[in-house]
Structure 1
């Protein structure tokens, strides 16, 4: 789910992550993805055919041109007519970074067009969102999964995705079941399932967090403190989390009163990605994470006013008067 423990306001409900994320996939954050439009949880399939094409030059056998630097908004010059049948994929730039595997979270810049031989209109783009997107590899459109699995960070990939490898009979608004899609995807980063900060142990208001790769929370008995508190247990040296930037994180959350861990990304799913300052996080996360550099581990104690407020979060057994505890590993900031 997307909006959950860190989810923004108490009114927000957990929702499945469907693609590029701009918030945790199941955690207390909200993440935008290749747009609500272009990512859908579907089973991945095998790798597909090749679409001839090269950056700033016509593709062999086609007159398709994709221009622009890696990581910058591309321009696409479509040839006349519709694309050839079948999934077509090409790699215009080959990166030297980590290779994308199923269950990775890929951080990307991308554009998506409907390739209809007419207007070939732009229907989605991370560039209009103000931050990169997070794609859950293995949980995208079948054609997009086939295009990206096995690619390396630093690569620019283009893919013409036919309807059979797209959304199927129930596409999102603005796309019809018969539309062919064309993606340009720049792979900025890859974050593996289970990734973490090798942080040290720490304490805050009686709460203890263990060190190592997968931190464990130990909440004391007794009444919780009345005030919000946070501390950076391990401080990294990467870019700082700021409003408008995409943050990739792992986290665990517990309820103070019951000392019950209600969610942890280390065992329940993938790293989560979310954008600071867009209203998709609870107040505590916005305050505790802003200014924190990538590579850090943050511990926080969250009274109701800084969490989900009076409505609580029933889906996770969180009542309106529950104080929460979170440990968050800030894996990367884009």
Structure 2
């Protein structure tokens, strides 16, 4: 699993709630999104009073002429990017810097994050700050406590109970939610898995009533044209894992959000490294390159079980320092 600096880990577990939503997230379904000024969070005296310098995507210098006490999310665009605004339901790559709007204290560090712009996937104040931005933008959001940490606060991030927030968000890119490569046929001799994909890319896999192969096998069903995943890279993926013996799904990201990882299983990692972003890969993993002799009892995987993964490779980058 990806190991992040402590600040990023804490922020991603609090501001960004992906994987911890009260209800399942449905990716790719139609969702109205703000396209006009009336639907977007508007500037205010507080957000206009925040000055930011430094390169986009790097840790900025922030000067906030506070303290601030706001009753709505105020949003000011400091750098205007290009292209179409990000929409509700999009997945975006951002950097986030946070200050206490009451005391002016800054939370340690700047976090890189991938945020799903859907209610329940991130705090309302963060969503309101990001929505309506174009990739390449830097925006300031001043967020009331009820749209952030509320009456609990977050002492580890220098946020007390009922403290408002200042968020500086660099919106770097809109990310895909499924692989977009060119279709290719599975090679001759590849086990006869039944594969179907819905509009969001979620697979339905039918396991044939035969013994699984004893060696690691992988093949693309979509061939991407993006950068290649290098050894040691962090990769962003959608995936579904099934037990060959039972045909049951034991883990997946469809219906939740893609995951940024440094490793999955040895066999899956071997199939991902060297593949191009945009690819969809089917991997059949024998026990010695999967969960090993211990299996995974919590997922119903025995030490002799072969597993099947369908993986969409969405992005790749060198691991964080």
Is TM > 0.5 for Structure 1 vs Structure 2? yes
2:182–2:223: 8 Å Cα contact kept in structure 1? no
Match status 1:147 vs 2:121 = no
Aligned to 1:121: 106
Quote the Cα distance in structure 1 between the aligned partners of 2:252 and 2:261: 19
Quote the Cα distance in structure 1 between the aligned partners of 2:146 and 2:125: 8
| 2:240 alignment partner, SS class | strand
Quote the Cα distance in structure 2 between the aligned partners of 1:325 and 1:148: 36
Unpaired stretches in structure 2, ≥5 consecutive residues: 24-32
Match status 1:85 vs 2:70 = yes
2:152–2:161: 8 Å Cα contact kept in structure 1? yes
Aligned to 1:36: 13
Aligned to 1:241: 229
Quote the Cα distance in structure 2 between the aligned partners of 1:244 and 1:251: 19
| 2:126 alignment partner, SS class | helix
Match status 1:167 vs 2:128 = no
Unpaired stretches in structure 1, ≥5 consecutive residues: 1-7, 9-21, 24-30, 54-58, 127-131
2:69–2:144: 8 Å Cα contact kept in structure 1? no
Q: 2:83 aligns with which of 97, 105, 128?
A: 97
Match status 1:286 vs 2:289 = no
Deviations 1:14-62 (A, max 9, x none): xxxxxxxx69xxxxxxx96853242234899974341469xxxxx85x3
Match status 1:273 vs 2:266 = no
Q: Compute the displacement of 1:173 (Å).
A: 4.9
In 2 relative to 1, CA 319–202 (structure 1 residues): closer, same or farther, beyond 3 Å? same
Deviations 1:141-166 (A, max 9, x none): 11111112232222222112221110
- Number of matched pairs: 288
1:246–1:273: 8 Å Cα contact kept in structure 2? no
Q: TM-score when scaled to structure 2?
A: 0.74
Quote the Cα distance in structure 2 between the aligned partners of 1:91 and 1:231: 45
Quote the Cα distance in structure 2 between the aligned partners of 1:244 and 1:158: 34
In 2 relative to 1, CA 320–115 (structure 1 residues): closer, same or farther, beyond 3 Å? farther
| 1:254 alignment partner, SS class | strand
Match status 1:178 vs 2:162 = yes
Taking only aligned residues, the RMSD between alpha carbons, in angstroms, comes to: 3.5
Larger deviation, residues 213-222 vs 289-298 = 213-222
